[in-house]
Chains A and B, each alone.
Chain A
């Protein structure tokens, strides 16, 4: 029997990021903006692998990759070569993928980098490579029941970078944080928008206590990575606990069922027969070009975070959360220019706004919230028109409807109640229907809160809290005598 609770987990990731900001695919001039298009409309002889066609490298993809390599502190190769990865599958029009390789003479575009997760935690990055995305296969219903498979080659040939880490990650949470950092870097560099569906995917390899490596493929987002890894680690620990061995294998993350399924075991591992792609000439990258990219490097997450802290005087924690999602940080900055308490603003965005987005499972860009409306809402709280609690409700409503705070307040009568006569009348009612609570409150000042709470409840949270407090306390004083 093996004691499994304290077993050390090692995780390595292969992160695939589409270079979504490129106008065309990696080796042809087809538009890379395919997501809204009908199947097989963004194709040409090159990305369809039509006999006789030849790939021509999109040099802009190389520029992007250099930027990424610089941001990840990597060594950039002065010469890089493309390789063919050979395998038969219908999503590959040529039945090989043009990729890069670090063995058999291959030279990926960059090697040996690192990314700091926290102060003490560094994830080493072994290589960065450029490759083409395969097409997409879909089924009617499930794989098992579908009568036929449908292949859409719009995605085939889209430029990807693959970031391969050393097995330095020790928990599913760290894996998620790492992916968030990568996404943030990509967004800051302006090379990829992680918010586009399927633009960031990863494979993970997991070993427990230095044991055999199991590879999990098809993790479609960083939200999924934590789930997939948690499942896989639990599965492996259970096997160890019951005295089983873990064999080398490749598994597939089934997002719908939230389980990993065995694809193939070691003996069936595919031999990709990597060899140089002679249709593309070896690519030279000069020091000058690297220097040029260095000089054009936009603000990176770290610098962005420091600037947010000094410029707006927000907490480190808030700044860190903001830069993890560049759109969120930009939203913050756009709002902050028009608002006098950026620290409060930061709390609202990092706290309530972010958790609503998470609850609703949407990206900020899909929410209908405008910076000026958020600022307006905060100002309404500041001038006492609404309470903070109402503010929270209002924000949710604003996210869904995209209406301005004024409009919603008027519509839903959310305005704060400062009518003391009306509130007094309600207080009377509460006191008479809760005699025991009144007695308790007289003895114990802490129990007063219950009565105030009742008043807030009756007004749907709209009672002016200061006024409500005063009224209840005064009433208590008179009740004592």
Chain B
């Protein structure tokens, strides 16, 4: 394996710009690495080698001609397969979209292209982003680079595993209830779900549109900040996108947490939290205290209902967002002659969707039905409001809220596949930020038997700068003992 692949994005950008290495050389190394490990990792669904190499050559020649290049010039970015790239198959890891070729670029893709990033391939995920392990992919699971028998987390498992396994330098995932922070934690890298609206969702194939955000993944905090700045900002194609304000994330890359006030809700260490995980997170908190931060234990009672509220809202939205896959315009289409509309639709949807997707569509349809709407959907929305209110009250006293990203260590493939509820329970700490629309980051803080453990930090809306600053400090002072198995 080439040492080039271990370099950070900013190091690579400067080496490529100074022609110490060429973008083409670097991209070729990425594909060599991909070919070397993919049979064991399976992070990608589609590789875009031709497009990537062409772009790399173009960037190299522009550099040789002394022309201006973008902030990500030549950097390989892997893209979760629910983000549309014009003319590149985008499957959502579903048979439904096995042959879907978007006729347009997502806004984040446009922004990456305009900053001269290199789109290296489309990554594996749970079907339609519904899952916590990437085992629900209709193209087979992804494996954790730190233990091939274990899951990489999900649903952005491919995006995280590809970065961890040095197949790419950075990647984009999407985070609906932890789908980027979970695999970042399980794969020992950094993942951040930004404030709802910070990054345009235009071109992100919806699972639960009031909760999800396209989210950056990187091996270090500086790269994460670089990637975030490149894709953030208002977009007139997404009405829910917001102005990122005055945040300058690069300026936050300083090792100084003095005076930072941290709240530690006991609810984030509830039943089901692995002892080693709690211990690792508390060590991280102590480390921050040693560096000048202060912390207090707090109670946030509404969090008890976060998971139930999250699943009801997410499934309700999913039932509507996924309605368009009926085989007529989008989705798998069986022979439909002699069938009426509804029978033809049912046949297509029965074959096209996997079991977990069908489960969530059915539960969501139920939650929105007349007679149940008030009891489920509306009650879940009320809980959501309570959580927002309780968090915004807490943020009057604290800059940050800290807890585990995942309550447990990466589990074995198949271990939770037959028990959906147990799988859902894994999201208990991550769904909070999605319900509240606030930013949250997962940073590696420790390991146990070679398996990564991540610490999660949440900040008020549009305070990604605080997250980046504290995450950067943690990164300087905690070096988890991890080793790639590929």
Contact = CB atoms under 8 A, between A and B. Distances in A.
Interface of A: 45, 48-57, 84, 86, 88-90, 93-96, 104-105, 151, 271, 273, 275, 278-281
A55 B341 CA distance: 26
B303 interface: no
A118 to B, nearest CB: 39
Given A93-B324, A105-B378, A275-B316, A52 B203 contact: yes
B106 A275 contact: no
A88 B365 contact: no
Contact of B341 (A52, A89, A105, A275): A89
Contacts of A275: 316, 320, 368, 373, 377
B365 A56 contact: no
B181 interface: no
A94 B238 contact: no
Nearest to B328: A90
A51 B324 contact: yes
B368 A273 contact: yes
Contacts of B317: 278
B378 A88 contact: no
B326 interface: yes
B103 A279 contact: no
Given A50-B103, A51-B205, A88-B342, 16 more contacts: A45-B103, A51-B324, A51-B330, A52-B90, A52-B104, A53-B104, A54-B201, A57-B239, A94-B323, A95-B326, A273-B368, A275-B373, A275-B377, A278-B209, A280-B239, A281-B240
Contact of A52 (B102, B326, B345, B365): B102
A55 B373 contact: no
Given A45-B104, A49-B329, A51-B97, A84 B320 contact: yes
Contact of B378 (A45, A89, A104, A281): A104
Interface in B121-151: none
B206 interface: yes
A90 B323 CA distance: 11
A95 B84 contact: no
A51 B203 CA distance: 7
Nearest to B105: A52
Given A48-B329, A49-B329, A275-B377, A94 B324 contact: yes
B44 interface: no
Nearest to B325: A51
A55 B329 CA distance: 18
B100 interface: yes
A463 B370 CA distance: 75
B320 A51 contact: no
A105 to B, nearest CB: 7
A280 B197 CA distance: 12
A84 B202 CA distance: 19
B111 interface: no
Nearest to A151: B328
Interface in B205-238: 205-206, 209-210, 236-238
A269 B338 CA distance: 25
B104 A50 contact: yes
Contacts of B377: 275
A198 B375 CA distance: 40
Interface residues of B, number: 45
Interface string B98-122: 0010111010000000000000000
27 contacts: A45-B103, A49-B330, A50-B102, A51-B84, A51-B102, A52-B84, A52-B106, A52-B206, A53-B104, A54-B239, A56-B236, A57-B239, A86-B319, A86-B320, A88-B323, A88-B326, A94-B324, A96-B323, A104-B373, A104-B374, A105-B378, A273-B369, A279-B206, A279-B209, A279-B240, A280-B239, A280-B240
B23 to A, nearest CB: 28
A54 B237 contact: yes
Given A86-B320, A105-B378, A55 B239 contact: yes
A273 B365 CA distance: 8
Contacts of A57: 239
A453 B306 CA distance: 92
Given A52-B202, A275-B368, A86 B323 contact: yes
Contacts of B201: 54
A281 B373 CA distance: 21
A95 B323 CA distance: 6
Interface in B154-200: none
B384 to A, nearest CB: 12
A104 B374 CA distance: 8
B370 to A, nearest CB: 5
Nearest to A46: B237
Contacts of B100: 51
A52 B97 CA distance: 12
B204 interface: yes
B202 A49 contact: no
Given A88-B342, A275-B368, A279-B239, A52 B204 contact: yes
A93 B326 contact: no
B316 to A, nearest CB: 6
A90 B100 CA distance: 19
